[in-house]
Chains A and B, each alone.
Chain A
Amino acid sequence: MSDVAEKVKKIVIEHLGVEADKVTETASFIDDLGADSLDTVELVMAFEEEFGCEIPDEIAEKILTVKDAIDYIEAHQS
Chain B
Amino acid sequence: MRRVVVTGLGCVTPLASGVEQTWKRLLNSESGAGPITRFDASDLSVRYGCEVPIDTDAEDCFRPAEYMEPKEIRKVDHFILFGVAAAQQAVEDSGWMPEDEEDRCRTGVMIGSGIGGLPGIEEGAVTLHEKGPRRISPFFIPGRLINLVSGHVSIKYGFKGPNHAVVTACSTGAHAIGDAARMIALDDADVMVAGGTEGAMCRLGIAGFAACKALSAGFHDAPERASRPWDKDRDGFVMGEGAGIVVLEEYEHAKARGANIYAEVVGYGLSGDAYHITAPSPTGDGAFRSMRMAMKKAGLNADDIDYINAHGTSTPLGDEIEVGAVKRLFGNSAKSLTMSSTKSSVGHLLGAAGGVEAIFSILALRDQVAPPTLNLDEPSEACDLDFAPHQPKERKIDAVLTNSFGFGGTNATLVMTRV
Contacts from A to B (Cβ < 8 Å): 15-17, 38, 41-42, 45, 48-49, 54
Contact A48 B134 (CB under 8 A): yes
- Nearest A residue to B136 via CB reads A45
Docked pose: A17 CA to B139 CA in angstroms: 15
Q: Which of A16, A42, A48, A54 contacts B139 (CB 8 A)?
A: A42
Docked pose: A41 CA to B139 CA in angstroms: 10
Residues of B122-169 whose CB lies within 8 A of A: 134-135, 137-139, 142
9 contacts between A and B (CB under 8 A): A15-B71, A16-B71, A38-B138, A41-B138, A42-B139, A45-B134, A45-B138, A48-B134, A49-B135
Contact A54 B134 (CB under 8 A): yes
Nearest chain B CB to A20's CB is how many angstroms away?
A: 14
Interface pairs A-B: 3 shortest CB-CB: A17-B71, A38-B138, A41-B138
The 0/1 profile, CB within 8 Å of A marked 1, for residues 332-374 of chain B is 0000000000000000000000000000000000000000000
- Nearest B residue to A49 via CB reads B135
Residues of B42-80 whose CB lies within 8 A of A: 69-72
Give the residue among B70, B72, B134 with the most A Cβ atoms within 10 A. B134
Contact B71 A45 (CB under 8 A): no
Contact B71 A38 (CB under 8 A): no
| Interface SS of chain A | helix
Instruction: Please name 6 further chain A to chain B contacts, defined as beta carbons within 8 Å, in addition to the given A48-B134, A49-B135, sorted by A numbering.
Output: A15-B71, A16-B71, A17-B69, A38-B142, A45-B135, A45-B138
Q: Which of B69, B72, B137 contacts A42 (CB 8 A)?
A: B137
Docked pose: A56 CA to B139 CA in angstroms: 19
Q: Which of A17, A45, A49 contacts B70 (CB 8 A)?
A: A17
- Nearest B residue to A35 via CB reads B71
Residues on B with C-beta less than 8 A from A45 are 134-135, 137-138
- Nearest B residue to A13 via CB reads B71
Contact A38 B134 (CB under 8 A): no
Nearest chain B CB to A4's CB is how many angstroms away?
A: 21
The 0/1 profile, CB within 8 Å of A marked 1, for residues 152-189 of chain B is 00000000000000000000000000000000000000
Residues on B with C-beta less than 8 A from A41 are 138
Nearest chain A CB to B12's CB is how many angstroms away?
A: 23
Nearest chain A CB to B419's CB is how many angstroms away?
A: 44
Nearest chain B CB to A53's CB is how many angstroms away?
A: 12
Residues on A with C-beta less than 8 A from B69 are 17
Docked pose: A41 CA to B135 CA in angstroms: 11
Nearest chain B CB to A32's CB is how many angstroms away?
A: 15
Docked pose: A38 CA to B76 CA in angstroms: 13
Residues on B with C-beta less than 8 A from A38 are 138-139, 142
Docked pose: A48 CA to B133 CA in angstroms: 13
Give the residue among A41, A42, A48 with the most B Cβ atoms within 10 A. A42
Nearest chain A CB to B25's CB is how many angstroms away?
A: 33
Residues on A with C-beta less than 8 A from B137 are 42, 45
Residues of B74-99 whose CB lies within 8 A of A: none
Residues on A with C-beta less than 8 A from B70 are 17
Residues on A with C-beta less than 8 A from B71 are 15-17
The 0/1 profile, CB within 8 Å of A marked 1, for residues 96-121 of chain B is 00000000000000000000000000
Nearest chain A CB to B182's CB is how many angstroms away?
A: 35
Residues on B with C-beta less than 8 A from A48 are 134
Residues on A with C-beta less than 8 A from B72 are 17
Docked pose: A38 CA to B148 CA in angstroms: 15
Docked pose: A45 CA to B72 CA in angstroms: 17
